Every structure is written in C-alpha cells, then in structure tokens.
Amino acid sequence: MTGAPIRRRPWLSAFAVLSLVFGLAGSASAEPDEPAPDVEVPPATKAASVPAVSEADSAGAVNQSLPPLLEHMGPETFPGRLRGLRGGSLWLEPSFHGLQWPQNRQTGLGVSAQLWVDSGYEAIQRSSLQLPNTHTLLDQGRALLRLTPAYVRGRFFLQSQLELVGNVCQSANNVCLNTGTFTTDDLWIRLGEWNRWDVKVGRFEGWEVYHLGMGMDVNTVERLGAGMFGVDPLTTPRLEAPTLYGVNYLHDRPSEGFGLGYAAVHLYPTDSFRLEVLAKLGTDNFRADNSTGTTPFNYVGGRPTAIFDLGWLKFKVGGEYQQRTPTTQTVEPGLPPHKKDAVAKHTQKGVGASLQFVFDPIVEFGFNAAIGVQRDTDPFARQVPENSFTTKSVGGFANVRLADLWLAGIGLDWTTQTDLFTVPTSTDNDFVAHIQSFAALQYLVEGQLYIKAVFGFARAAFLPADPTSNEWRDYMYSGRIRLMYLY
C-alpha cells in the first residue's frame, strides 16, 4: 500500500449531515483524539489535502478558512511519527504510542464508531483422564459510538469523550448481566496544549507497554488460552492458567466498582519522548451492605510510562503499583471497646518494557517482557499464599505486508506463575506455565472493513505443590473470523 491517503468521499456527506444535526460550524473535526482500549482506528483518510501544521502555525490562531477535515493521523502527517504499517496492529494501537490527536485543532464535535463481530471455535484437550475435554462454539460482537467535543484556541485545547457500548449478549442470564448489554467505555475530560502537556481525568486506558500484534484481542479465545473454564482441576487450591501480564494492573479502565477513576499527566518535552504519570483513586462500593458479607475497598495506585519514538524504532517502559484496603475499621473488644484500622491488604506491582521496529511498508515486529507481583493479606494479617504470586511474561510479534490490502501476522507469548502455597511434605510451590501463539491473515475492504482470520494454539502445564496431585497439561486449538467496521 502506498503512503498516499485513502479518499472516501461518502464521509463528506455523512459528516455534513452530522454537522447540521449538532449545529456545528463547517470546520468541526470528525475524529476523537484517542480511540478506546480495544477500539481500533482505520488507515489515514483525508477529505482535503492539508499540509502538516508547523510549530509556528500552531502557536497562532486556527485558520478558520480550512475546509471540513476528516483525517486519521498517518505516517505522512508528522514526519518521524510513523505509527506502523498501514492497517497493522501498531497502526491500530489504541493509545497512538502516547501521541495526542494533532488534527483535532478546530472547535467542534468529533463523531466516530466501531463495530466488530467474531465467529469461531475452540477445543481444549486435557492430558489428565480425570478431567474432561471441552469444545466451544463462539459468536460475539460489540458496537461503540464515540462522541468527542473539543474547544480549541491557539495551542490550548479542552476536550471530553464519551463512548457508548452495545454488546451482542442481550439475554437476562448471569453471563450477560456480568458483561452488560449496554455499557460505557471512555468517559473523561482533558485540557492542555498541543505537543506540550495535558491533564486527563475520568475513565480511560493508560498507555500501552506490552504489544501483542494482530491476535490475542481482548476477550478472544486465543487471549484466554488453555484455561480450565469451570472444569474442577481437583487440586487444593484450585489451579488456573495464568493471564498474560503486560504492565496491565492499572492499564485497563478501572472496573472494580462504583467510585473509581484515573487521573493522568502527559508531558511532551521533545518530538520523540513522551511521559505519562497515571494515578488511580476511589472505592469499589462505598455503600456496601455488610449484612451480605461484602466488604468495600479503597484503591490507590500509580503507573508511570515513558515512550521513546523515532518512528521506525519505539522503546516503551513502564511500572505500576496499587494497593487495596478495606474502607471500614474494626471494633476491638475491651473496656471500653476501641476502633482500629483494618489490616487486610491487597497489593499489586510490576514493571515491563518493549522494543518495536517498523520498516514501512513491508514489516513490523517487536519484543516484550514484564514481571508482576501480587500479595494478599487477610483480616488477621496473615498472608494468603494461594492468592500471592509472581507472574512473568515474555513474547514477540511480527506483521508482514503480503500485498496492498493483505497483512499477515504471528505472535508468541510465554507466561509463568508461581504462588506461595506449599505443603508440609514438599518445598515446591504451585507452578503453572502458559504458552500462547497465533497466526493471523487480514484483508482490508474499502479502507474501512477489516476481515481477519486468527488461528490460535496454547498449552498450559500445571504443576501442583502437593506431590499427591498429578501434573497435567491443557492444549487449546482455536480459530475465529472477525469482521470489523470502522467509521
């Protein structure tokens, strides 16, 4: 595929209607500054040929005579800011490698949408004769409507974003009730100066460190891997295949409960260096009914991330720490009784880094490594060994352009998890190793419809600490077809 933008004239008429409905000035931008964590953006699109904005131009007032602009930031928009192969996984990386959305320089309302549907099959074979195999059919989907109003004056901007989500799962069963038929992804406010700094508060996703490539999308079968999925492993404590760790304790949007949110400061000291300092604060249920046995918790945490980006070379490094503690004190017996802060505590911390290369327009690839540690303490200040563990993940990906509209990708990740549980007859701990891999083939239709086939293989090896429990392995084989339409 060439570096020239793909023109899609139907967008102009669609945007004109939206502009009329919302009462916008003719110069409103039609794209938000940043996609959702699992929301991907299409290749560069321009309704008119507009040169890159220079540093001198951006310091002055916005030229209101510019025609209506519909543009996804492509490699040609800002030299040295190559995101990745057009239509590839680095191109579609949701946080834009930390970049602000540079073309939303006009006051107005941005409107965009995304819809995807997955259909597939998964089989898990378990080596233990006491554990059944499973075969699962899959059909799931998700649609998102994104609204991004913005006020711009010279370099200064003020933005907010709302993402309304609808899911295929609509039945009133526990699965759909937990997933949510209609939910909200992003909900945030941001203010700052273009390419200098900004402050962002609300519900959003942090900058990505560990990149997976064209497979292992969120909530897919190859991302979940060779797990037990409700099958009793017949061990005490029960073992499960570990989830890949990618500096993501605080990367995903907060979802623990009612009153949690993020705040982040973004700094852009140079064209190639970016820094995010993210903080998490809140409570999961500040009105918990203690008669039900539920306990509300407070959360506090931080996640700094740095990105060094030369376009063809990207180095990302991040760390994180969060702590969860009960909101309610305990009452100690005595004469008189006295109140005491609860001693239960749940902590998570980790670090990770990635190195990515882009040789446009042929190939992009990268390598990742991360380590996370979780420690759990009960109300009696005793460590919970089965819920206290160390998770290590390493992996890599590669995407290759086969033809203008065809991309192929592969990925491989290895995760190990060791908890603190032991038995008197052994010094070994519970240990599980999980290998996950995929191969993907993608075709792009009219620059907006992505058709992607993904084939996955995973193997999980379970080694219980108790020598009386047998070791076993799970083997997962999967395939799915994703149709994804971006507007």
Tokens of 246: 């990618």
User: In the chain, how many H helices and how many E strands?
Assistant: 4, 18
Q: What is the pLDDT of residue 345?
A: 94
Per-residue b/e over 313-341, b at no fewer than 16 CB within 10 Å?
Answer: ebebbbbbbbbbbbeeeeeeeeeeeeeee
Instruction: Provide CB contacts within 8 A for 103, sequence distance 6+.
Output: 29, 31, 69, 71, 73, 77
Instruction: For the chain, list the domains and their CATH numbers.
Output: 10-486 (2.40.160.10)
Residue with tokens 């059944």: 132
| Rounded Cα–Cα distance for residues 96 and 31 (Å) | 14
Exposed / middle / buried, residue 174 (Cβ in 10 Å: 0-12, 13-18, 19+) = exposed
**Nearest in space to 260 (alpha carbons), one of 201, 190, 346:** 201
Q: What is the pLDDT of residue 288?
A: 59
| Rounded Cα–Cα distance for residues 11 and 44 (Å) | 13
Q: What is the pLDDT of residue 256?
A: 85
Residue-wise pLDDT tens for the chain (487 aa)? 333 333 333 333 433 333 433 333 333 333 333 333 333 333 333 333 333 333 334 333 333 433 333 333 333 444 447 889 989 999 999 888 998 874 456 788 888 899 999 999 999 999 999 999 999 999 999 999 998 888 989 889 999 999 999 988 877 667 676 666 788 999 999 999 988 999 999 999 999 999 999 999 988 999 999 999 989 999 999 999 999 999 999 999 998 887 899 999 999 999 899 999 999 999 987 665 554 556 789 999 999 999 999 999 999 999 999 999 998 888 888 888 888 888 899 999 999 999 999 999 999 999 999 999 999 999 888 999 999 999 999 999 999 999 999 999 999 999 999 999 999 988 899 999 999 999 999 999 988 899 999 999 999 999 999 988 899 999 999 999 999 998 8
Q: What is the pLDDT of residue 175?
A: 67
Q: What is the pLDDT of residue 258?
A: 78
Task: Determine contact, residues 472/128, Cβ cutoff 8 Å.
Answer: yes
| Rounded Cα–Cα distance for residues 412 and 376 (Å) | 30
Exposed / middle / buried, residue 245 (Cβ in 10 Å: 0-12, 13-18, 19+) = buried
Q: What is the pLDDT of residue 286?
A: 65
Q: What is the pLDDT of residue 295?
A: 79
Peptide bond into 361 cis (omega under 30): yes
Task: Determine contact, residues 116/485, Cβ cutoff 8 Å.
Answer: yes
Q: What is the pLDDT of residue 281?
A: 95
